[in-house]
């Protein structure tokens, strides 16, 4: 079995991708520093797949530890790099944390990729690289504008670093996957989004409010230039997203890439407002949420959703799950973790 390293593999998207990799027949090695995850996620991955991934607790900002890891674990044929801080609002408040976590770790990782001649690299990027779009839906040809947040800037810089490395490398092939807004959980409810502290994303805040962990859900602004005044995003089921990573990795391993650096949008191609997500949740759960309208949040763009034609046609990937499926799976996950 080919060995694949998944950094941040106990996090939300990383754990779902580890599942899909193991189901595809890959041997998975997970690095995670547990700063925003839980080691029990290993049990969830094992429950779904029947296979125990290798787990190493490691801080990618520790250059010596990163070097030691690659000296110990030989034969890695591909890396999927998720490990990063990921909240837009927090990045505005703590920019230096984001630049240290998201840039330093990537540089140290790529230095080892070059040293050990590892060919296949998938980068967890984001639609935030586009900033406030001129046209919707957003294609991959849309201009990369000044980032609206330090988080978005780290993704822009990360892509540039990888692209520059690919230009000078004799072996490196990389794909950046620009996600829109991942939501939902695995249908087994064995893994899902598990934020530590106050959630930074919409759906876990919804589910925690519904189950009574949070007194009230705040909608950040209802005066945006959208049909109902709330921000519009392209919400993609995390399992669909995870499958795209395996398809992209297969593309690199099978040398189907047409250049050493490629990038793809991953979304549903449809925008949903914050209120539409709330309505979907209330519909599938039967729970009425306690909501209030608050002030706009700095760093938030008005509306963003994907043109997914490139990923559909070139990668051969398409999002399949609905918004209702995503909100229901997130609710099942929330109820499960509150029973256990």
* Residues recognised as catalytic: 151
**Pairwise CA distance, residues 166 & 158, whole Å:** 12
Cβ-count burial 167-182 (b if 16+ within 10 Å, e if not): eebeebbbbbbbbbbb
Ranges of beta strands (E only) in the chain are 3-7, 27-32, 54-57, 76-81, 120-126, 173-179, 181-183, 217-220, 232-233, 235-237, 261-266, 272-273, 291-294
Residue 146 CB-density burial (10 A; 0-12 exposed, 13-18 middle, 19+ buried): exposed
- For residue 322, what are the contacts with CB-CB under 8 A and spacing of at least 6? 237
Question: Cα dist. 169→18, 141, 172 in Å?
Answer: 27, 25, 6
Which two structure tokens, joined as six digits, stand for 201? Answer: 């994303």
């Amino acid at each position: 079995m080919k060995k694949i390293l998944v950094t941040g593999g106990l996090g939300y998207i990383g754990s779902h991708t580890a599942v899909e990799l193991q189901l595809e027949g890959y041997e998975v090695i997970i690095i995670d520093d547990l700063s925003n995850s839980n080691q029990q996620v290993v049990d969830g991955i094992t429950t779904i797949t029947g296979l125990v991934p290798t787990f190493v607790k490691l801080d990618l900002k520790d250059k010596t530890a990163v070097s030691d890891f690659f000296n110990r674990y030989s034969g890695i044929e591909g890396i999927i790099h998720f490990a990063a801080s990921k909240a837009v609002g927090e990045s505005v408040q703590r920019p230096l944390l984001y630049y240290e976590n998201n840039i330093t770790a990537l540089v140290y990782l790529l230095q080892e990729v070059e040293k050990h001649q590892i060919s296949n690299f998938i980068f967890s990027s984001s639609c935030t690289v586009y900033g406030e779009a001129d046209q919707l839906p957003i294609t991959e040809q849309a201009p990369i504008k000044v980032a609206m947040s330090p988080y978005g800037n780290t993704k822009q810089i990360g892509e540039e670093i990888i692209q520059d490395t690919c230009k000078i490398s004799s072996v490196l092939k990389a794909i950046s996957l620009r996600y829109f807004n991942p939501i939902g959980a695995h249908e087994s409810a064995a893994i899902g989004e598990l934020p530590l502290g106050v959630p930074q994303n919409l759906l876990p805040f919804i589910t925690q409010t519904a189950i009574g962990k949070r007194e009230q859900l705040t909608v950040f602004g209802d005066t945006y230039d959208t049909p109902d005044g709330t921000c519009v995003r392209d919400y993609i089921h995390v399992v669909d997203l995870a499958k795209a990573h395996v398809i992209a990795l297969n593309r690199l391993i099978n040398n189907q890439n047409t250049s050493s650096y490629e990038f793809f949008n991953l979304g549903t191609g449809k925008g949903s407002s914050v209120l539409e997500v709330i309505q979907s949740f209330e519909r599938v759960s039967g729970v009425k949420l306690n909501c209030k309208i608050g002030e706009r949040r700095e760093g938030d763009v008005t509306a963003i959703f994907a043109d997914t034609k490139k990923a559909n046609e070139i990668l051969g990937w398409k999002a399949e799950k609905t918004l209702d499926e995503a909100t229901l799976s997130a609710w099942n996950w929330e109820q499960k973790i509150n029973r256990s």
